[in-house]
């Protein structure tokens, strides 16, 4: 039923001559907004000015938080309108206070950076936590903030790891996979122990999802492992503990299941990058 309704809404005939049972202001405004907005491509010719008009009408009739968030995105990116961070912040704030988690992410990020508003790390932290209940990108962002103690926030590496793993495993966030790979490669504040096997696994997940820096980190980690293996051989102790020398089997990480990472045994490698 939902699919048939969607096909009906997107049909050219419906767009030009909607039947009377859907001519209520709220539904028509939402319909026109969606068709003009790029999230539904090829339905009609993209027209940002019309989208803005219909989003505003939808807000007038229904206090629509999604429409407010979309207006924030339009002004933040300058998509078909002059880029305006102040106006974007206004709409993100309105949508955030109405519970839109996507808007809460952008509102918090702009509050932390002082973009379009005065910087306010405490408010940024509060709303990023709210957004992180639903948004993977918010979990990743909050995790990095807690990891570095951004703008006076108390560092919490344990909570940072929890958020990053949730962003990676539940939302397939490539940045979270990449960050976790680096954390397990070098260790963090006694909370994360070095674990080259898990580091490889996370970095390959990031690489498979298109992260631009993942291959560089994989090569760097491999070089560290080969160096340790060489040093171990020179000392007569056989192959190094890193298990990532010339005969390391890269293929087993191509399609590794994220849920299996916790089952892998620790594999020690060097403390410092080469």
Say if residue 5's pLDDT is above 70.
no
Report pLDDT digits (tens) over 22-47: 444 444 444 455 544 545 555 567 78
pLDDT above 90: residue 267:
no
Q: Taking the complete model, does pTM exceed 0.85, yes or no?
A: no
Helix H or strand E encompassing 220: helix 214-234
Q: What integer pLDDT is reported at residue 125 of this predicted model?
A: 95
* Least confident span in 36-50, 95-109, 151-165, 200-214: 36-50
Please report the pLDDT score of residue 254 as a whole number: 45
Mean pLDDT of 187-210: 88
Q: What is the pLDDT of residue 31?
A: 45
Higher pLDDT: 96 or 21? It is 96
pLDDT at 169 over 60: yes
Query: Which residue carries 């089997």 as its tokens?
Result: 249
SS (H, E, C) the chain: CHHHHHHHHHCHHHHHCCCHHHCCHHHHHHHHHHHHCCCCCCCCCCCHHHHHHHHHHHHHHHCCHHHHHHHHHHHHHCCCCCCCHHHHHHHHHHHHHCCCHHHHHHHHHHHHHCCCCCCCHHHHHHHHHHHCCCCHHHHHHHHHHHHHCHHHCCCCHHHHHHHHHHHHHHHCCHHHHHHHHHHHHHCECCCECCCHHHHHHHHHHHHHCCCCCHHHHHHHHHHHHHHHHHHHHHCCCCCCCCCCCCCCCHHHHCCCCHHHHHHCCCCCCCCCCC
More confidently predicted of 65 and 23: 65
pLDDT confidence band for 63 (50 / 70 / 90): confident
Model pLDDT for residues 80-96, shown as the tens digit of each residue: 999 999 999 999 999 99
Query: What is the arithmetic mean of pLDDT over 237-243?
Result: 47
């Amino acid at each position: 039923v939902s699919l048939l309704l969607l096909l009906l809404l997107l049909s050219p005939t419906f767009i030009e001559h909607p039947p009377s049972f859907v001519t209520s202001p709220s539904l028509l405004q939402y319909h026109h907004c969606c068709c003009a907005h790029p999230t539904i491509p090829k339905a009609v010719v993209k027209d940002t000015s019309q989208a803005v008009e219909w989003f505003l009408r939808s807000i007038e009739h229904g206090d629509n938080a999604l429409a407010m968030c979309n207006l924030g995105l339009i002004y933040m990116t300058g998509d078909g309108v002059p880029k305006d961070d102040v106006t974007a912040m206004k709409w993100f704030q309105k949508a955030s206070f109405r519970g839109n988690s996507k808007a809460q992410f952008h509102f918090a990020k702009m509050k932390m950076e002082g973009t379009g508003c005065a910087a306010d790390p405490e408010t940024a932290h509060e709303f990023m936590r709210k957004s992180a209940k639903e948004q993977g990108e918010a979990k990743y962002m909050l995790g990095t903030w807690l990891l570095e103690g951004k703008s006076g926030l108390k560092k919490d590496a344990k909570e940072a790891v929890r958020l990053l793993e949730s962003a990676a495993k539940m939302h397939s966030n490539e940045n979270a996979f990449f960050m976790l790979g680096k954390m397990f490669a070098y260790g963090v504040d006694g909370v994360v122990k070095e674990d080259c096997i898990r580091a490889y696994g996370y970095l390959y997940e990031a690489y498979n999802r298109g992260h631009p820096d993942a291959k560089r980190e994989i090569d760097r980690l491999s070089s560290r492992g080969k160096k340790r293996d060489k040093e171990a051989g020179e000392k007569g102790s056989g192959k190094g503990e890193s298990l990532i020398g010339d005969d390391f089997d890269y293929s087993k990480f191509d399609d590794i299941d994220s849920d299996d990472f916790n089952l892998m045994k620790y594999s020690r490698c060097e403390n410092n990058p080469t």
